[in-house]
Amino acid sequence: MNLTLHSRLLLVPVNIRKDKKHYIVEDIALGEFYEMPRVCIDAIHLINNGWSIEEIERVLKDNYPNDEVDMLDFAEQLLIMGLIGEVDGVKVELKEKKKKDLGLFWISPKIGEFFFNKAAYLVYFTLLLVNVFILLSHPSLFPHYKDLFVFDLMILNIPTWMGITIILVFIHEFGHILAMRAQNLPTKLEVGHRLILVVLETDMSSVWKLPSNKRNVLFLAGLCFDTLILSCALISHLIFINGSEIFLGVMNVVVLDTFIRMVYQGFIYMKTDLYYVIENVSGCYNLMENAQQAIRKKLSFLNSPSMQEVVFEGEKRIVFFYSIFYFVGVILTVSIYTFFYVPQLLFAWKRILPGFSQGPSSLPFWDAILFTLQILSGLLLLLYSWRKKYTQR
């Protein structure tokens, strides 16, 4: 549909809220959110008042003499985003977009409020300090990679580790779910990935319905539950110091897995929970995308003709410093996998391969089979996550 300076537009139903620096515009029908500066919000109000594009541009140039105002270009962007419902009285045929299927309304907000209130925040912070104190005062409880091997046989260690990890990851994500429901927001649990790591993700897109000062708790909810789990595991070691070796071994796996997950949240070059906190505190959204864009500009072989992200005035410094952490972080992560995890995996394969030749009546054979199934399951989950991400583009 062609737009001219004389065109008069009508937007689809939107909800506009003031945010930290700019405004959040919500497409009510689809539940999608867009960040826009004040000049765009003024333009939207004038559009809905029936002004033509030319009239709006003239007024905005008078009101914002220091800004570059191109209403025709802005109108085209609104059209691409699917925010224009009518042009000169003619309905726009919008490309069909499927609204996210969010729910979990069966979880009462009161349950979420029990775990996330001012008293609970104090408990989580106290437990964090307790965890630090225990690890410093009892160095033997500090996690070690050998803690993964509770049993002598890999045939038992693999399902034990996988089972514990799945349960702990679900508890972490359930923290996010309860925090979302405490605010009476819809959500759902999905499979995603961070670089080559398969992860569970709670859909928190509706968090933009909240003001900025209420979002951080939702982003940190998983870490709150991680802190609680780590405390339980460490305190169990202190209470049951002479307990069953298997029980203490399982607690070691819990400590190791939870500790790594909490440290991993500090890798802000990926979209971890702490990354979203930094975005929210700085008011610089699409931080990773803007950093990727900055890196592509510096490295010509990575340049892409795709639509560029908008970097608002005053955000360039934040994006620049984050770009450095992003670039170095990705190289470091790839290096760790190249020089540590991959050789470790190859060593494990070398160790179990002889088991295939010993026949199904031997333990080494089934040890090799289960290890192979574990690797294949992880690869299938990763491929599913990548496929889901790139087919939705």
Say if 30 falls within a structural domain. Answer: yes
Total count of domains within the chain: 2
pLDDT of 337 reads 66
Separation CA 293–CA 287 (nearest Å): 10
pLDDT of 301 reads 44
With a cut of 80, say whether residue 191 has pLDDT above it: no
**Residue 294 or residue 359, greater confidence:** 359
pLDDT of 216 reads 94
125/273 same-domain check: yes
Say if 365 falls within a structural domain. Answer: no
Give me the amino acid identity at 29.
Answer: A
86/116 same-domain check: no
Rounded to 5°, the CA angle 186-191-195 comes to 125
Secondary element (H or E) of residue 219: helix 215-239
Separation CA 299–CA 343 (nearest Å): 30
Comparing CA positions, the residue from 149, 158, 148, 165 lying closest to residue 368 is 158
Say if 17 falls within a structural domain. Answer: yes
16/145 same-domain check: no
With a cut of 50, say whether residue 50 has pLDDT above it: yes
266/120 same-domain check: yes
Secondary element (H or E) of residue 84: strand 84-87
Query: 73: domain range?
Result: 9-91
pLDDT of 25 reads 94
pLDDT tens digits for 293-331? 766 666 554 455 454 555 555 566 777 777 777 766 677
Residue pair 85/91 in contact by the 8 Å Cβ criterion: yes
249/117 same-domain check: yes
Separation CA 195–CA 44 (nearest Å): 38
175/270 same-domain check: yes
With a cut of 50, say whether residue 142 has pLDDT above it: yes
Report the predicted TM-score, pTM, of the whole model to 2 decimal places: 0.77
Average pLDDT over residues 128-151: 89
Say if 391 falls within a structural domain. Answer: no
Quote the mean pLDDT of the chain: 83
Among residues 283, 301, 331, the one where a domain terminates is 283
Percentage of residues in the chain with pLDDT exceeding 70?
82
Secondary element (H or E) of residue 47: helix 38-48
Among residues 91, 121, 151, the one where a domain terminates is 91
pLDDT of 298 reads 60
Among residues 234, 250, 283, the one where a domain terminates is 283
With a cut of 50, say whether residue 205 has pLDDT above it: yes
Say if 96 falls within a structural domain. Answer: no
pLDDT of 297 reads 66
Say if 203 falls within a structural domain. Answer: yes
117/235 same-domain check: yes
pLDDT tens digits for 54-80? 999 999 999 999 888 999 999 999 998
Say if 209 falls within a structural domain. Answer: yes
Q: Report CA-CA distances (Å) from 17 to 8, 25, 230, 283.
A: 24, 7, 38, 14
Separation CA 211–CA 185 (nearest Å): 13
